[in-house]
A and B are shown apart, each in its own frame.
Chain A
Amino acid sequence: MNTRTIKVDYLARVEGEGGLHVKVKNDRVVDVKLKIFEPPRFFEAFLRGRSFTEAPDITARICGICPVAYQMSSVHAMERALGVTVGGQLRELRRLLYCGEWIESHVLHAYMLHTPDFLGYPDAIQMAKVYPEVVKNGLLLKKIGNEIVTLVGGREIHPINVRVGGFYKVPNKRQLLELGEKLTLARKLAEDMVRFTAGLPFPEFEQDYEFVALRHPNEYPYNEGRLVSNKGVDIDISDYENTFAEEHVAHSTALHSVIKGKGSYFVGPLARFNLNFDKLPTDIQALAHEVGAKPPVLNPFKSIVVRSLETLYACHEALRIIEAYEMPEQPVVDVRPRAGTGWGCTEAPRGILYHRYTLDANGLILDAKIIPPTSQNQKTIENDLWHFVERAADLPDDRLTWQCEQAVRNYDPCISCSVHFLKVNIERE
């Protein structure tokens, strides 16, 4: 009997703390556990009794990488509970803020965390010695993303300018036009990023996934839409908890999400791209075709190319919003408390982020539910490892461990969010 254990105690280059344990017996995988041991964070519990107005700033603290996503899902849920619609330029500014977060997050992950896997470097610092221009361009692009978040969100980390009903303060046209000049450069850098990442070597690996993403009639999704899948899901977000369920597993402090009666599903860039390709501008569609990213993309290792295409889209969309912008007279629409329940689901860089709140007549939170994208992808990550390791079982342990970590990073897991570093552990028998 030949047992191998592949074990990574702390996964590097992911946000938060987690580990990975894979057990192989006679070249068959017998166990895979993505272990999340970040302590639970009890956000849902300490939201109870707080005012509806506090949810955007409290939940933004769940994650330093995708605070905008938390703010957006919470304000949409609250506005639905309170019967408020935010339209016009305020809605556009929310999309602009989200563009900034997608650029920041996607560029950080693609260039600093994931590319070294494909090129065989232990980290981006070693890679930077050989590919300094690539890394410099990445840092510049990310910086422009930061500048969007700083201008619209009030500051770069944990933005503070978002409120239920709109913003505290809105930028003027001149401030946005200054950003526009930088975004023209960002767009060029993002095109380079698409071509660069598309030229990386990809392991042959495709799976029959159920992809889940928002879909909106007129736009590539950020804030609004129905939840759809390639295998029959098409629901209003208020039906989320009728369709999806969370399960507790012993090896993780994050809950695993499943589609009821079916099982694992896939959220994030690949899901959005495959389900919303027709909503991308035609020049980005053409570039995707040119670099061989034709939907459906079923190889999760190619998520890095899709992340780059989405970065390009975010630059394009930010430019469109800036050009058409007219400073609204009021930064916020009128919001009055009332009893009710509201649902919000928006596209965080890593995938859909669901919030539900029930409020009393004074607008105090009676109950809160938050389901981050990484916990929704956890089961799919484990399934990928199961199939991937079986195929690559003849690799030596160090190589196999490397590829397992790379496979986890396909999902840009934000373990900080899912509760909150990743250790890989491969056991062979």
Chain B
Amino acid sequence: MSSSVLCVGIGNEFRGDDAVGLIAARMLQARQLPGLRVIEQSGEGAALMAAWGGAAAVFLVDAVSSGAAPGTIYRLDAGFSPIPAEFFHYSTHAFSVAEAVEMARALDELPPRLVIYGIEGANFDLGISLSPAVEAVLPALVEQMAAEILYS
């Protein structure tokens, strides 16, 4: 594993399933994977670009709202194709995760590896509990991410 591997959990703790990225990041942190740095962010794009600067491999984890079944796990490799802006629907930031990734691509500043894990949420209302379908996939998600990070 490269010495500069970064995991960024993204979300809002107080907006239902939007917290799933933060919770997944904390679970990864608890595993103490060698060389992995874990941080949390709100999803504001410019801050995100600043945070991943210099990292060799970056794993983002965030809730998504694509209309799929709640708990669906997506894995997108930003090196391969553009990230659809509407994917991260639940951000009220004008310059958000998808924009940050595409801005970095336009400026030729994408990290050498950038992988995005998205978890389909069901409920983004004010509140601090995850939907059962989202809660249920967390262990498998963290397992999948840990495995990929260990072999990165």
Contact = CB atoms under 8 A, between A and B. Distances in A.
Interface stretch (A120-128, A238-246, A313-321): A120-128
Contacts of A112: 45-46, 94-95, 99
Given A64-B44, A156-B47, A132 B106 contact: yes
Given A123-B99, A125-B99, A143 B107 contact: no
Given A125-B102, A125-B106, A157-B42, A139 B95 contact: no
Interface in A130-176: 132, 135-136, 139, 142-143, 146, 156-158
A125 B94 contact: no
B92 A16 contact: yes
Contacts of A13: 94-95
A101 interface: no
A128 B107 contact: yes
Contact of A124 (B42, B50, B95, B126): B95
Given A128-B103, A136-B107, A420 B92 contact: yes
A128 B106 contact: yes
A61 interface: yes
Interface string A166-208: 0000000000000000000000000000000000000000000
Contacts of A108: 46, 94-95
A15 B93 CA distance: 5
A143 B92 contact: no
Interface residues of A, number: 34
Interface residues of B, number: 21
Interface string B89-111: 00011110001001101111000
Nearest to A123: B99
B94 A113 contact: yes
Contact of A64 (B93, B99, B102): B93
Contacts of A123: 99
B146 interface: no
Interface centre among A17, A113, A128, A132 (most CB of B within 10 A): A128
A14 B96 CA distance: 11
A138 B14 CA distance: 30
A229 interface: no
B60 to A, nearest CB: 16
Nearest to B105: A125
A38 B92 CA distance: 10
B106 A129 contact: yes
Interface string A1-36: 000000000001111110000000000000000000
Given A15-B92, A113-B94, 4 more contacts: A65-B44, A112-B95, A146-B47, A420-B92
Interface of A: 12-17, 38, 41, 61, 64-65, 108, 112-113, 123-126, 128-129, 132, 135-136, 139, 142-143, 146, 156-158, 415-416, 420-421
Interface of B: 14, 41-42, 44-47, 49-50, 92-95, 99, 102-103, 105-108, 126
